[in-house]
Amino acid sequence: MPKVHVSNVAISLDGFSAGPDQSLDHPLGVNGTDLMAAFFETKTFLEQHGMEGGETGVDDDFSAKSMTGNGAWILGRNMFGPVRGPWPNEDWKGWWGDEPPYHVPTFVLTHHAREPLEMKGGTTFHFVTDGIHSALEQAKAAAGDLDIRIGGGPATIRQYLKERLIDELHLVMRPVFMGKGEKLFEGLDMRDLGYKIEKYIPGERCVHMLISRQD
């Protein structure tokens, strides 16, 4: 059965999943690259960016698995780019160049309408202005029998968790302190929402936490 999942999302020891002050120079926020080292060093990540080499092992296995079986993605506006407010133009096409790594329909949550953006490799960005439920219904229609991955950022994941719409989470616990930024579970009672940590697996640069919703 298709599932709605979060995969390969990093979280620091003090609970942050993004750094502060996102910008062109800091796509993940200030110090945000510290969170993603377990992904950036993998063979999977380097291959996505046309490079060779990279580490194999537990972290890479999880990274590769996270990119398979998805028929659609959902992203928050900040995951698409640093542009805020109404779109000044349609020049910004995402962080990833001409061929984003998604390769399926990808639904971007925003308050400001924009025409769909077709990219190389099968990714088409659809800009959804009527909320998380509409984005999920559109993603389900596009995905068919495949899974839907909620890509983030933290605010988007929180919205879906609050409504108990995420079936499974794979979090990457990094041994770093951020001090400031955006906390993944801010304002959420995960126990009360019915989520349970099923397993934790040490990797090369992190601990992988597998969490599921108890029905």
State how far the alpha carbon of 120 is from the alpha carbons of 96, 98, 193, in Å. Answer: 11, 6, 39
Query: In the CATH scheme, what is the code of domain 4-84+93-213?
Result: 3.40.430.10
Contact call for residues 124 and 105 (beta carbons, < 8 A)? yes
The two tokens of residue 7 are 């995969």
Identify the CA nearest to 29 among candidates 48, 10, 6, 5. Answer: 10
pLDDT tens for each residue of 92-118: 999 999 999 999 999 999 999 999 999
Q: What are the sequence ranges of the domains in the chain?
A: 4-84+93-213
Model confidence at 138, in pLDDT bands (50, 70, 90)?
very high
Contact call for residues 46 and 59 (beta carbons, < 8 A)? no
pLDDT of 160 reads 98
Question: Cβ contacts of residue 188 below 8 Å, gap of 6+?
Answer: 158, 161, 162
Percent of the chain topping pLDDT 70: 100
Averaged pLDDT score across all residues of the chain: 95
Residue type at 104?
V
Rounded Cα distance, 215 and 213, in Å? 6
pLDDT of 66 reads 94
Q: What mean pLDDT do residues 22-44 have?
A: 91
